Amino acid sequence: MDIPNFLFIFYVIFIDMKKIVITESQYKKIGKLISEQDDNRYNREVDVNIQAYGVTYKGQEINDVTSANVRLSYLIEQEHRSWGIKGISLYDIKGPEILEIEVDYFTDEDNTTDETIQLQLDWSNVETEDEEGQGVVTVGNEITISLVNDANGNIVIESVHVPVYSL
């Protein structure tokens, strides 16, 4: 198969410079997922997985709990030495102060109803799980939020788990 000369030259130039070529739609998608703000904070929209095993609402068993995606922001810092970069760390993960969830709960044995409630999020106690070898430094595509009932039977957030990718 013959490659037109101008395409071959274009390919060789970019391979030697170790750059990649992406389409405009790919650029927009990447820019939408991860963007850097003026204060060196990065942000990314992630899916929310809610775990509500054994949790009740209004004294009734919960059928399902869902939430819209949330936007997380975080800092990435490089640790420099005279010989190069020693490490790269991702920290100070923050998100919305209020999480709106839709609770589908049983009203009797066969029927369910939906209600939207708001839960307070505490980003100072985020649990992170470091995952290496992905070739990027970012937060994962999905965070996990675990719910429990407090002493009064109200739904509260027990934990927020965020996977963190590092080199």
Q: Are strands 142-149 and 138-139 parallel, antiparallel or unpaired?
A: unpaired
pLDDT digit string, tens, across residues 132-142: 877 888 999 99
The pLDDT confidence band at residue 10, using thresholds 50, 70 and 90, is very low
pLDDT(8) > 70: no
- Residue 138 CA from chain centroid, whole number: 9
What is this structure's pTM?
Answer: 0.72
**Is pLDDT of 156 > 50?**
yes
Average confidence (pLDDT) over 9-35: 61
* Banded pLDDT at 2 (limits 50, 70, 90): low
**Stronger pLDDT, 56 or 23, i.e. the higher one:** 56
The residue type of 15 is: I
**φ/ψ (deg, to 5) at 26:** -65, -40
Model pLDDT, residue 84: 85
Three-state DSSP class for residue 130? strand
pLDDT digits (tens, 9 = 90+) for 89-106: 889 999 999 999 999 999
Strands 41-51 and 56-57: unpaired
Structure tokens at 143: 């965070």
CB 43 within 8 Å of CB 74: yes
Q: Whose CA is closest to 52, among 140, 156, 161, 138? A: 156
Summarised one tens digit per residue, pLDDT across range 110-134 is 899 999 999 999 999 899 998 887 7
**Mean of the pLDDT values across residues 16-29?**
68
* Residue whose C-alpha is closest to residue 71's, from 41, 35, 44: 44
Interstrand relation of 127-132 and 155-166 (parallel, antiparallel or unpaired): parallel
Q: Is the Cβ–Cβ distance between 128 and 159 less than 8 Å? A: no
More confident residue, 79 or 117: 117
Given a contact cutoff of 8 angstroms between Cβ atoms, the answer to whether 33 and 73 are in contact is no
